[in-house]
Amino acid sequence: MSQWRKLGRVFDPGTVGDRPWLKAFAQAPAALIRDGIVRMYFSCRPEPDADGQYVSYSAFVDLDRRDLFKVRALAEEPILPLGQPGTFDEFGVYPVSVISTGAEVRAYYAGWTRCRSVPFNTAIGCAVSRDGGSRFERLGPGPIIAYSPDEPFVMSGPKVRRFGATWYLFYIAGRVWKSVEGRPEPVYRIRMATSADGLSWTKVGRDLIPPRIEADEAQASPDVFEADGRFHMHFCYRHSEGFRGRERGYRIGYAWSTDLLHWTRDDERCGIDVSEEGWDSEMISYPHVFAVDGQVYLAYLGNGVGRAGFGLAAREGGFD
């Protein structure tokens, strides 16, 4: 069976000492292939404030296209400032997915706001870069995909793809806030929207991937790659309780489809799992599949949902 061969950790935010907004985490890696480099976007955090509250920014690291473990540059500042008071992204821009379209680069991202009864809520926004993907500007102060009667909260995890003339946005939508030892924990599932221009979206309006490990399984980061006559989705999933350790923490799942609407889940064919020891020995999550010069790679997070950075694995064999 084809599988992923782990190459190691590529970027550790703990090695960065001169950017106070980048103290920990390099979450949800997303690749933009450029001449000579692979620009990997990720989300990071500064130190918490006096009340222990975090904000989240998104940035990038440029990797040498011939050696993806060689860092060529690191963003001098976040790609997008936090939103204005009262907006959906006032407290965070995480995660982010990027795509080139003509002379522009678009970033689709989840914006975070704080709540009283639960820790946060999120909606999906869009920003545009006209300098090759270094700095972005919002399309406007509001989201492009927000809550709705059947998707009431936690609209997040956007991953944008174009297949043919159609844009696809795979994302997650919250189902319930579950009380676990007095703490609210979100349960969310994978959904999809389509568009002719990447701006006006039509939701499919149903879950794409059935749960496997429990009824309240949470799923995130649906990333779709086309190869060998099929569409292949890698995503991550976890238990609804006790998921911050090895036994019940995030793992990467797999499903395939011929039409992008109907998916067959087959986690046994995923081809990657936690390591016996080291930075990714407790959990692996937020997969992103991309191809560079004929080689297919998977970027992913390790322990602590990317607190200590992201790594790469190389595909050995096809996807059949």
Q: How many helices (H) and strands (E) does the chain have?
A: 1, 20
DSSP string, 172-204: EEEEEEEEETTEEEEEEEEEEEEESSSSS-EE-
Mean pLDDT for 41-69 is 96
**Dihedral pair phi/psi, residue 211, rounded to 5°:** -70, 155
CA nearest to 145, candidates 169, 166, 164: 169
pLDDT value at residue 244:
81
Parallel/antiparallel/unpaired status of strands 183-195 and 166-180? antiparallel
Number of domains observed in the structure of the chain: 1
pLDDT value at residue 317:
87
Identity of the residue numbered 62:
D
pLDDT value at residue 23:
94
Q: Which residues pair with 172 in a beta bridge?
A: 156, 190
What is the distance of C-alpha 72 from the center of its chain?
23
- Quick check: 17 pLDDT over 90? no
pTM of the model as a whole: 0.96
Provide the mean pLDDT of the chain. Answer: 96
Which domain covers residue 203, as residue numbers? 3-316
Question: Above pLDDT 90, what percent of the chain?
Answer: 94
pLDDT confidence tier of residue 1, bands split at 50, 70 and 90? low
Q: What is the pLDDT of residues 230-276, one digit of tens each?
A: 999 999 999 998 888 788 889 999 999 999 999 999 999 999 999 99
Residue 48: count other Cβ atoms within 10 Å of its Cβ: 12
Q: Which residues pair with 123 in a beta bridge?
A: 111
pLDDT value at residue 309:
96
Nearest-angstrom CA–CA distance, 82 and 193: 25
pLDDT value at residue 238:
96
Q: Is 66 left (phi over 0), alpha (psi -120 to 50) or beta?
A: alpha
The answer for residues whose C-beta is within 8 angstroms of residue 48's C-beta and 6 or more apart is: 54
pLDDT value at residue 86:
97
Query: CATH no. for residue 240?
Result: 2.115.10.20
Q: What is the pLDDT of residues 114-149, one digit of tens each?
A: 999 999 999 999 999 999 999 999 999 999 999 999
The answer for residues whose C-beta is within 8 angstroms of residue 253's C-beta and 6 or more apart is: 209, 212, 219, 234, 235, 236, 237, 265, 267, 270
Q: What is the pLDDT of residues 75-117, one digit of tens each?
A: 999 999 999 999 999 999 999 999 999 999 999 999 999 999 9
Task: Give, as one character, the DSSP assignment of residue 225.
Answer: E
